[in-house]
Amino acid sequence: MTRTTKEKIIKAVFFVIAATSVIILGMIVISLFREAVPIFRVASIKDFIFGNEWYPTYDPPSFGIWPLIVGSLIVTLCSTVIAVPIGVLSAIYISELANPFLKEILKPIIELLAGLPSVVLGFFGMVVLAPWLQETFDLPTGLNIVNASLMLSLMAIPTISSISEDALYAVPQEFKEASYALGATKYETIVRVIVPAALSGISTAVILGMARAIGETMVVLMVAGGAAAIPDSLFDSVRPMPASIAAEMGETPFGSNHYHALFGIAVVLFFLTLAFNLVADYIANKYKQTGSATL
Amino acid sequence: MVDKLNHDGSIIAVEHVNFFYGTFKALTDIHMLFKKNAVTALIGPSGCGKSTLLRLLNRMNDLIDGTRVEGRVYFEGLNMYDPNIDPVEIRKKIGMVFQKPNPFPKSIYNNIVYGPKLTGMNNKNDLNALVEKTLKQSVLWDEVKDILDQSALRLSGGQQQRLCIARALAMNPDVLLMDEPTSALDPISTAKIEELIDELKTDYTIIIVTHNMQQAARVSDETGFFYLGKLIEYNETKKIFTKPDLKQTEDYITGRFG
Ligand SMILES: Nc1ncnc2c1ncn2[C@@H]1O[C@H](COP(=O)(O)OP(=O)(O)OP(=O)(O)O)[C@@H](O)[C@H]1O
Ligand SMILES: [Mg+2]
């Protein structure tokens, strides 16, 4: 066998493997859409997305998922606000400031956090954080936006931290030396050279952390409280989209409008996560090619 | 109290310096005075410690874990390795150009104003003037004057190196350390940089590492020849290249070993 035929075969094998995953993904998406379409014969897309009432089992039912979308967005946003500073700063600390000994301790701890099953976090939120919140702030329930956001941020921190750390680590030593040689301090070098050079990676990390939070099911199912209404305060309960799907799918008759509506929610969720990933990709590419010239 | 000493006519004085990377002794008992407003060339075979010595002179070696300095290095009479001295202040006065061009992934303009901005220089007109002046000094102005906002990483290697020189000059240092600044350049850029070195010498003290014997002979006033971490011979360039004191120096210069 000549080398070129061998290379061709290897190439073909890889192509088939890559194509398989793409095809499977494509089939999942298609079935998602196929199952979702019937709901739009009952409710218009506008009513479905922006409708304020999610009463799928009433008679007549009402399929407005706006409260669920708001619930998802708000817990994602709040958890991002908590997770980004902690995740990014811990990445900077680990990659640039910590001595080797601390680094060896901190890195595994954060990785351990990433490996924590979400049901464990949900359980913690339920039996520890919820009663504490309820008592401290004198609330009707401790299962609310604050609780869910805190638990979700615990899930997003390791994602943000480890991807940011990779990005910081990849900043060439030469840039740092150039900065120090010009009389910059360590702090100035971090703020003006290292972080800007790693910014595309850090942005990607943030968005992937958000994607992680918005798609997370178990935690929000357990600690967000489950109220399908637009919240007035951060201590209100919400019902994020994944929680709705997970909670209701089991009791929904196959082929009913409610069943199709849950697929409709899944489609919305699919587009949201897709958007997050596209943005992450766009940022990563934009700065890669121009060498982040304007930063 | 910072320990002080007077060395007539010299801006940097290295006194009995040993340098270690961990347990490896990279420099042995270096004793050397660097004349003010002169060009000093450091020559010697690869691995003999030229870059190590150069980085010792602006405390860049501090950034490498596990390094250790013995002896004293005086800069304008002050021991720069005194615990009371801030290396950051030393590096502001002793600039460095690296062997491999290392512009920041920023625009050409921002590469040059990076250092001055750190020292609090913020006036737009002053910065513009500084950019123009330093780019002209490093003979890059004509090539980049219309693309100052473009990423420095899109310049050619030779252009990047001249940008790095401009960036170092923008700090208006007293001393400029150059580690094989022309090793990545074509003959024309090299000639330009050698010309530049000649001009700069009136205001700056330049210490240059080079593997190019002709270059050392052309640009420098003094030359130090190193071998295996030791300073073998240190003399006027003219003398080193015509009648060196030691046979070893002559053999290296004429290419018989090294
Ligand atoms: N970061 C480092 N850690 C350990 N040893 C080092 C380090 N940098 C250099 N050395 C060692 O110190 C010695 C001197 O290195 P140096 O870079 O100063 O040589 P040089 O004269 O500049 O060589 P060249 O002409 O190839 O650039 C070499 O033996 C090298 O292996
Ligand atoms: Mg070297």
Average pLDDT across chain B, whole number: 91
Region B208-214: what's the mean pLDDT?
93
Q: How confident is the model at residue A290 (pLDDT cuts 50, 70, 90)?
A: very low
**Closest ligand relative to A173 C-alpha:** 1
pLDDT given for residue A295 in this prediction: 37
Task: Enter the pTM of the model.
Answer: 0.84
The conformation of residue A129, written as its DSSP 8-state character, comes to I
d(CA A226, CA A68) in angstroms, rounded, equals 9
The per-residue DSSP string of A161-226 comes to: HHHHHHHHHTS-HHHHHHHHHTT--HHHHIIIIIHHHTHHHHHHHHHHHHHHHHH--HHHHHHSB-
d(CA B254, CA B258) in angstroms, rounded, equals 10
Question: How many angstroms separate the CA of residue A196 from the nearest CA in chain B?
Answer: 9
- Backbone φ, ψ for residue B226 (5° rounding): -115, 150
Domain residue ranges in chain A: 42-286
Query: Token match 């637009």: residue?
Result: A230
Residues of B in contact with A294 (CB under 8 A): 106-107, 149
d(CA A187, CA A61) in angstroms, rounded, equals 59
In terms of CATH architecture, what is B10-99+174-253? 3-Layer(aba) Sandwich (3.40)
Q: How confident is the model at residue A125 (pLDDT cuts 50, 70, 90)?
A: very high
- CA–centroid distance, B49 to ligand 1, in Å, is 6
Residues of A in contact with B58 (CB under 8 A): 181
B253 residue type, one letter: I
The β-bridge partners of B33 are B13
Residues of A in contact with B63 (CB under 8 A): 176-177, 180
Q: Model confidence over B78-131: pLDDT tens digits?
A: 999 999 999 999 999 999 999 889 999 999 999 999 999 999 999 999 999 999
In CATH, which superfamily holds the domain spanning A42-286?
A: MetI-like (1.10.3720.10)
Tokens, residue B27: 């420099």
B157 lines ligand 1 (CB under 6 A): no
Do B164 and A178 make contact, defined as CB atoms within 8 angstroms?
yes
d(CA A243, CA A67) in angstroms, rounded, equals 12
The per-residue DSSP string of B82-150 comes to: STTS-HHHHHHHEEEE-SS----SSBHHHHHHHHHHHTT---HHHHHHHHHHHHHHTT-HHHHTT-TTS
- CA dihedral of B78, B80, B85, B87, whole degrees rounded to 10: 140
| B181 upstream amide cis, omega within 30 of 0 | no
The per-residue DSSP string of A69-80 comes to: HHHHHHHHHHHH
Query: What ipTM was reported for this prediction?
Result: 0.91
Whether the CB of B186 is below 8 Å from some CB of chain A: the reply is no
Domain residue ranges in chain B: 10-99+174-253
Question: How many angstroms separate the CA of residue A159 from the nearest CA in chain B?
Answer: 26
B20 lines ligand 1 (CB under 6 A): no
